[in-house]
């Protein structure tokens, strides 16, 4: 895998931040992960049965 710098400008390698359902949220690194996480509701990372804001179509 290629080394890809995080968008926050830290120069650290970025990684995918995924919620408890495995849904991609954003890219983070060690420097900015706490700040990036703050933009999301904390329960989405701990509870995979969280209620989504978006209407979900029946499958």
Does 8 bind Zn ion (CB under 5 A)? Our answer is yes
> Could you give the CA distance from residue 16 to residue 23 in angstroms, rounded to a whole number?
10
> Could you give the CA distance from residue 12 to residue 32 in angstroms, rounded to a whole number?
10
With tokens 């420097």, the residue in question is: 31
Whichever of 10 and 46 has its CB closer to Zn ion, that residue is 10
> Could you give the CA distance from residue 59 to residue 41 in angstroms, rounded to a whole number?
25
Does 17 bind Zn ion (CB under 5 A)? Our answer is no
Whichever of 33 and 44 has its CB closer to Zn ion, that residue is 33
Binding map of Zn ion across residues 19-58, x = CB under 5 A, - = no contact? ----------x-xx--------------------------
């Amino acid at each position: 895998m290629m080394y890809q710098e995080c968008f926050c400008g830290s120069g650290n390698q970025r990684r995918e931040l995924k919620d408890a359902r495995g849904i991609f949220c954003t890219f983070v690194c060690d420097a900015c992960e706490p700040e990036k996480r703050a933009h999301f509701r904390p329960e989405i990372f701990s509870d995979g049965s969280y209620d989504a804001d978006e209407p979900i179509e029946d499958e």
